[in-house]
Each structure stands twice: as structure tokens, then as C-alpha cells.
Chain A
Amino acid sequence: MKLERSDRAPLWAFMTPALVLMLVFFVLPVIYVIVISFMKWNGINTPAFVNLRNFMLLFRDKAFKRSVINNVIWALVAGFIQVPLAMIMAIILSRKPKGWKFFRTVYFFPQVISGIALATLWRAIYRADTGLLNALLNSVGLGHLAKDWLGTLSTAFPSVLIYWIFYVGYYMVIMMADITTIDDSYYEAATIDGATDFQQAIYITIPLIRKTSLLTCVTLASVMGLRQFEQVYMLTNGGPANSTSTIVLYMYKKLQDANYGMASASAVILIIIGVVFIVCIRKIFEGRNEEAAALKKAGRAAG
């Protein structure tokens, strides 16, 4: 609707609450972390400009390097292992096998349970003395593998990382929504030509969702991997020997130490890594654009 002159004042009045909140809680904070990342500040004194000193200190800190490496591993595993698993399940469930609604509901459970509750549950599972994992290993005769999963240097990070890879519900549901929009005629034609379900998935479904929901999910999963906090905070608090730390956990600890400059500098690095990931993932997927576009176009022409 065209904006009438009489509507202008009420319109901006209506927009104001949202605008104020967006400015105070999104625009200002982003500018704020960037500015403070160049300052030395303990939250009480006047902030002092220190140029790139915070960043230098970060790059020299082993704990920070470990956090960055962990986050990058986490983002890669999320994007390139978790999401493909989710895609396989999306392809399977979108064929509506018996009970698919039930399974969709179940797979989605971890998404509605808080990260902190899930982490606590898994802490109980990984416990050395009363944990479910060791009990399972003992019961199948693999008792010699039982250990303090979160307290051992070599197993701590894999343990923190792995449990949540198999929680695929969120990405699966996103891709299922996309797959259901694919025209049936593709599959009908392929079936007539004798293509197996597997071939149909490889040659029809995946190319068609690659640029849309698959790209979205890989991006989302990687970004989530970069934001990890609750899991490590609750499971290991970064230990043993910082081996499970993440950037956000590192930032949180700097904030607790009232080192606002370094906390902000790590926030800036987190945002930069996030942008780099988003751009790279787009680049990786763009190579295949034409193929999918051509297929979609052919579909439209055929339809």
C-alpha cells in the first residue's frame, strides 16, 4: 500500500520500539566490540587506546590458538559430516517410510532441549564411574576401553565434539522442506528409466537442493560450530589443559577476568572467521550452480 501522508507519523511511531531495540542490541554492540578491541579496559578505568596490542596478545596465547583450531575443526565437522548425515536422513524420510512423522519428531527432540541440559546429560553419560558409555562398553566385553572420557587429554575434545554430530533433526527438517518442493515428474521419469532410489538421490535430489537448503544448512552448521559455548562450558570448562576450549569460552573467561579489550578482540576474530566461513562455503557451492540451474530450468520447461 502506498504510504499516505497521514500514515507517516504513525508508521514511524510503530517502527520506533523495534528500531530502538535493534540499534541498542545489534548495531551499537557490533560497533562497540570493534572499538573496545583496540582498547585496554577493565570495565572501571577509562579505556586506553592500545592499537593492535590485544590482537598480538591473542595470537601469542596458546589457549586462544587452541580455541581457534577447535572452533575451525568444529565448524568443518558440523558442515561436512553432520550436515551430510542430515541430508541422507532427509532423503530417506522425505520418501515417507512407515512412521516417518514419528521419527521426524524424535530426531528434532535435541533441538528443543536446551544445550545446557543436553551437555549435562552427556556429562552423566561420559562419567568414568557411573557413566552410561563405560557401562555399555563393559556389557559388550570392551571394558578395557572404558576411561574417563572428558578427563583424558586424548579423548576430551573428540568426546565433546562427537556426541552432537548425530543430532541431525534441525538440518534434516530444513532439507526435507526443500525436497518436498521438487517436482514428482523427475522421479517418475527416472523410475521409468530404471534408476534406483540411490541413483535418484545422487542425480536428482542432491543437485536440486545443493544451492538452496544444503548450502543454507552447511552455512548454519558451520556458524553454529563457531559459536559453541554451552557444551564445552558444561562438559569440561575448556579442560584438560585448554584442549577443549572454544573462542566463546575463551572470551567468557577474559570477560570474567575483566579484560574487556581482549574479550572484544576475540569477539572480532570470531566474527571475522564467521564471515570467512560463509564466503568460502558459498564459493565451494557456487561451482555447481550452473548444473543445478540447468536442471531446474529443464524441469520448468518440461513441466
Chain B
Amino acid sequence: MSETRVRAPLHGKDLVLAVLRWILIIFFAVYTLFPLIWLFIASLKTNYEFLADSPFSLPAVPQWQNYVNALKVAGLGRMLLNSVIVGVAATVFNVIVASMSGYCMSRFRFNGREQLFTLFTAGILVPLNALMVPYFVIINKLGLYNTYGGMILLYCAIGIPMSTFLIRGLMDSIPMELEEAAYIDGCGFFGRFFHIILPLSRTGIVTAATFEFLTCWNEFVFANLIVSSEKLRTIQVGIRYFTNQFSTDYVSMYAAIMISIIPSIIGYVLFQEQIISGMTSGAVKG
């Protein structure tokens, strides 16, 4: 909506609506932020303060020690590292594969192309949780149960339809003339991919990579399914075990949860545009 829109001064019904509007805006913001802030403040209290004082009171002295405890007791460092290893590897493989398939599906007409589109779209819509059993069996059959490789392969694979969709979408917007000129100059299939299409699709690739990494980072169901070793636990699987480890040490448990949330929030604030466009463009067009 343009900013030049003429607005009459508020009175009567409009005023009521304006007040209602702000009540809603603030309600939803408080609803989202308040629990997070509560958790953060609780994570800085002592256990005594947490149990005895009002939930709205601030700690006398912020107990950053709780974070150190959480890192030590729960082995969060290792879990964060696992999540980074799996997330980065899966994302790299995923965008490489998706760039290649995106290039083919965007720049060429060939037999079976329409069927491929249908297959990839269905891949975005299928409820992956329903495929738990076959995924469990496949990963086991490949001998990848309890390995980084199993998680990386599975994450890379389940993100292919979405990443291909995002990258292809951007490649579609690159003018054909650019490529045709290169073709006339004798630039082959690979040359055009590496020298023209790939550099020009950077934004689409970054969006897909951000989206894929976030998906990997937050994924729980399959990580829980195909890994049982403590050494390979990702941060999300780790959270499940916090509650037992910190049965009475509430504040350290809350510190541990904060540690698992903070990277997502920082990542989101840094890559906000990519994340939002990745998450919405798939929905709007799909």
C-alpha cells in the first residue's frame, strides 16, 4: 500500500478499530516474546531465587555460571558441533545437487520434464513423518545407522525438492539471451553452468542454503530415529535428554534450552530476508 493514502482523522468506530488493532499487535508480540524472556531471566537466577521469588523478579546477580554448567553437564558443546557438522555438510551437498537439477529443469526442454516437475512438487507436499518406517529401514540397509553420513544423506535428500524449487525459480529469471550468446561463442553445457548461470543464481542458492541449514538445525524426528549414540546426538536430540539430566537443577536446564535457541535466533536476525523468502515463496507458488 502506498504511503500517500489519504487518512481521515480517527473518530468513533475507526478509533475503536485502531485501539483494537494495537491491542492485537501487542498481544501477539507479548505472547511470543514473554515466554522467551521469562526463560532467559530464569536461566540467570539461582535455583533458590527461581523457586522462592516471583517469576517476574530479576536475579540479584546474573548467574552466567548456569551456562557454563549447562555446557559441561549436558555436553552441549559436542551436540552443537554435531549439529554444525551435519547441517553444513548436508547443506553443501544439497545445494550442489539442487543447483545441478535446477539448471537442467530451468534451462532446457526435454522429455519427462513435466513429470519431473510433478514429482518434485509432490516431494514438497508429502508428509515426511509418514515415511519414518522406510527411512529407518533404508538408512539401516545402507549401513548408515548411527553415523554422520546417515544424517547428512537423509537431510540432503529430503531438502532436494524445496532447494531445487527455490534455485530453479531464480534461474528461470535469468534471460536466455545471455546463455545463447555464450553458446554461440562455443561455450558448452558445463561452461554455461559454471560461468554464467551459477554466478547469476547466487541469491537463489543462498536462500536455498539458508532454508536447508535451518531445516537441518531444527530437525528432530529423523535425528532421533537414526542415531542412538550419545556422541552423535545433535542439539535437538540433546534437548530431549536435558530434562532427565537436570532433574532438580532448573536454572541450568533453562540455560541449556537458551543455548539451543540462541543460534536459531541469531541466524534468523542475520538472514531474515533469505529465511522469509525461502519459507514463503515455496508456499505461495507451491
Contact = CB atoms under 8 A, between A and B. Distances in A.
Whether A associates with B in a native complex is: yes
Interface of A: 1-3, 6-8, 10-11, 14-15, 17-19, 21-22, 24-30, 32-33, 36, 43, 88-89, 92-97, 103, 105-117, 120-125, 130, 132, 135-136, 139, 166-170, 173-174, 177-178, 180, 184, 187-188, 191, 196-198, 212-213, 216-217, 220, 223, 226-227, 229-230, 234, 248, 251-252, 255, 260, 263-264, 267-268, 270-271, 274
A177 B185 CA distance: 41
A168 B274 CA distance: 19
B276 interface: yes
Interface stretch (B72-80, B198-206, B253-261): B253-261
A7 B188 CA distance: 8
B137 A18 contact: no
Interface string B93-113: 000011011011101111000
**Which applies to chain A's interface (DSSP): helix, strand, loop or mixed?**
helix
Contact of A18 (B100, B190, B276): B100
A103 B31 CA distance: 12
Given A26-B161, A92-B21, 13 more contacts: A25-B158, A29-B135, A89-B28, A96-B3, A97-B21, A116-B236, A116-B239, A123-B243, A135-B54, A196-B14, A230-B220, A230-B221, A271-B127
Most A-side CB within 10 Å, residue of B3, B107, B239:
B239
B218 interface: yes
Contacts of B269: 105
Contact of B283 (A132, A174, A229, A260): A174
B28 A267 contact: no
A216 B100 contact: no
A22 B161 contact: yes
B65 interface: no
A30 B39 contact: no
Given A33-B131, A116-B220, A197 B14 contact: yes
Nearest to A129: B51
Closest 4 CB pairs between A and B? A18-B101, A29-B134, A114-B218, A25-B157
Contact of A32 (B13, B35, B133, B179): B133
A174 B280 contact: yes
B46 to A, nearest CB: 13
B108 A7 contact: yes
In this complex, the interface size class of chain B, counting residues with CB under 8 Å from chain A, is 35 or more
Contacts of A217: 283
Nearest to B138: A24
B64 interface: no
Interface of B: 1-3, 5-6, 13-14, 17, 21-22, 24-25, 28-29, 31-33, 35-36, 38-39, 42, 50-51, 54-56, 97-98, 100-101, 103-105, 107-110, 116, 119-120, 122-123, 125-138, 154, 156-158, 160-161, 164, 176, 179-180, 183, 188-190, 193, 214, 217-221, 225, 236, 239-240, 242-243, 250, 254, 257, 260-261, 264-265, 267-269, 272, 275-276, 279-280, 283-284, 286
A114 B264 contact: yes
B275 A122 contact: no
Contacts of B135: 25, 29
A229 to B, nearest CB: 6
19 contacts: A1-B107, A1-B180, A14-B193, A15-B105, A15-B116, A22-B161, A28-B134, A28-B138, A29-B135, A33-B134, A94-B1, A109-B268, A117-B260, A139-B56, A173-B280, A178-B284, A187-B1, A191-B6, A251-B132
Contacts of A28: 134, 138
A21 B214 contact: no
A173 B276 contact: yes
Nearest to B2: A184
B220 A114 contact: yes
A165 B36 CA distance: 17
Contacts of B56: 139
A19 B35 CA distance: 44
B224 to A, nearest CB: 9
B265 A251 contact: no
Contacts of B254: 124
A22 B120 contact: yes
Given A18-B164, A248-B129, A113 B157 contact: no
Contacts of A220: 283
Contact of A267 (B122, B133, B189, B283): B133
A117 B264 CA distance: 11
B29 A106 contact: yes
A165 to B, nearest CB: 10
Contacts of B284: 174, 177-178, 212-213, 216
Given A174-B284, A184-B1, A136 B55 contact: yes
Contacts of A122: 35
Contacts of A226: 127
B53 to A, nearest CB: 10
